[in-house]
Amino acid sequence: MDEIRTRVAPSPTGWLHIGTARVALFNWLLARKYNGQFILRIEDTDKLRSTEEYELDIMEGLSWLGLGWDEGPETPDNVGPYRQSERLELYKKYANQLIEEKKAYWCYCTPEELEQERNAQETAHEAPRYSGKCCHLTDEEIKKFESEGRKPALRFIVPSDKKVKFKDLIKGEVEFDPALLGDFVILKSDGWPAFILAVTIDDAEMKISHVVRGEDHLSNTPKQILLAEALNLPRPEYAHLSMILNTDRTKMSKRKNPVSVTRDFRDQGYLPEAMINFIALLGWAPKIKNEKDEIFGLEELINEFDLSNLGKSPAIFDQSKLDFFNGYYIRKLPLGELAKRCLPYLEKAGLIQKENETVLKAIALVQERMKKLSEVPELTEFFFREPQYEPELLIAKGADKEITIKALQESVKVLLTENDFSRDSIEPLLRAFSEKIEVKVGHLLWPIRAALSGKPASPGTFELLEFFGKDESLKRIDRAINMLQ
């Protein structure tokens, strides 16, 4: 194949998973690096669990990450349709070819019989695989099963005369003994294709050149290779990504860990730029010299990406690393853009109704402290409404109640005479004043800042005085004095 054609093929049985996003990113990068095509295929043959809501979430999540596809359900058909549920006749055509060439047979075993067979193999410490007992059914046996109402599934006859070998672009040479596979189902009893048949046919028909996917699919690869050979179809190059583990090296769980790109990350205030940067480093190892060299935008990733730099060891999902990237990209955002992205969180919290100059000033003061957009209501609440706090917050470390009351009362006197509340004016004034009244500068600035913000951590005293101005600042300081008295 001269053209690089990659794909991501999620099943719409759940929200877009972080692992699927990683698969999409690496396939997208490979296609973009070599001016190829990136395809989105929806593998919706699980009729019970596939929903339109999940499909839309997958498409929305990929678009939010910036991973647009060249071909997919919403594009004109090139080698589509791109939903497997719309390709059933194609799968049946290839299944009939295998039947005609005596490379497949109908299996009438019931789920209960198959379960008994598996249990017996486990008891005997044998690898679970189908025994092949339906391979040579007589016409009488078939009629008997059909009269019982049994619906057969179609099984592929696995040739056991040679081992399946292929070169994985990440793991290197891989070999499987087909005798351990057993004849596997390719058409289910309801006539719908099994995953293994559909994916083999689709990859060939869609001219996929490279399949980059999770190593949980490694065991499917020999089956796909055998099917492709039996159908005389071209096969793609395979690259199987290492697993993603938690920092304690346990497997990520949908129930215990945040894994949904849209609900667990986007909606919680992570930026797509940070997500892409973080996901790219889950298993990909660029040649870095220091922490700064771990910062990659999509265009930089296209230039740097190479399959040879994908590691074999498990990738570790480090939440603190993601927070670091998100904080970095938040600090790099222009103020207007950051305010636009923060607006929905502020509106939901009931703090504002629309963007204005006050909002911009408030966000500017907390931008350096923000790790997630969802933190903005908590960080800025005191800018928009009077803070609630305990009087003890006003007392700085090493000070006492009397010192604090004195500091606040004296500061009110000097602030009443001042009209310029800009930082350049107010900072030297208060620092000199603390010496004059013989109160440590920290014992003076801490209670003022606490009175204005009601928080143990916030922007600095001078920034807050400048933000609130004379009237609001004095009002909040007077309230603090009353609380202490």
* Per-residue pLDDT reduced to its tens digit, 195-210: 999 999 999 999 999 9
Please, which residues bridge with residue 239 across strands?
Answer: 212
Residue 143 lies in a domain: yes
Query: Is residue 481 within 8 Å of 413, Cβ to Cβ?
Result: no
290 and 230 share one domain? no
Question: Domain holding 380: CATH number?
Answer: 1.10.1160.10
Residue that finishes a domain, picked among 322, 356, 384: 384
234 and 98 share one domain? yes
**So which residues are the catalytic ones?**
254
445 and 461 share one domain? yes
| CA 217 – CA 7 distance, rounded (Å) | 15
109 and 234 share one domain? yes
Q: What is the predicted pLDDT for the residue at 50?
A: 95
Residue 338 lies in a domain: yes
**Regions of the chain short of the pLDDT cut 70:** 1, 255, 288-292
Q: What is the predicted pLDDT for the residue at 289?
A: 57
Residue 13 lies in a domain: no
Question: Domain holding 478: CATH number?
Answer: 1.10.10.350
99 and 226 share one domain? yes
Query: Which of 373, 323, 369, 368 is closest to 349 using CA atoms?
Result: 373
105 and 194 share one domain? yes
* Per-residue pLDDT reduced to its tens digit, 182-192: 999 999 999 99
273 and 139 share one domain? no
Residue that finishes a domain, picked among 384, 401, 421: 384
Question: Domain holding 234: CATH number?
Answer: 3.40.50.620
367 and 399 share one domain? no
Residue that finishes a domain, picked among 324, 349, 384: 384
Residue 27 lies in a domain: no
240-243-245 Cα angle (round to 5): 165
Exposure string over 168-182, b if 16+ CB within 10 A, otherwise e: bbbbeeeebebeebb
Residue 468 lies in a domain: yes
Q: What is the predicted pLDDT for the residue at 77?
A: 84
Residue 10 lies in a domain: no
Residue 367 lies in a domain: yes
208 and 294 share one domain? no
- How many domains, the chain? 3
236 and 128 share one domain? yes
Q: What is the predicted pLDDT for the residue at 285?
A: 83
| Residues spanned by the domain of 427 | 391-484
Q: What is the predicted pLDDT for the residue at 161?
A: 84
415 and 374 share one domain? no
Residue 324 lies in a domain: yes
437 and 380 share one domain? no
Q: In this structure, how many other beta carbons lie within 10 angstroms of the beta carbon of residue 223?
A: 23
Query: Is residue 268 within 8 Å of 372, Cβ to Cβ?
Result: yes
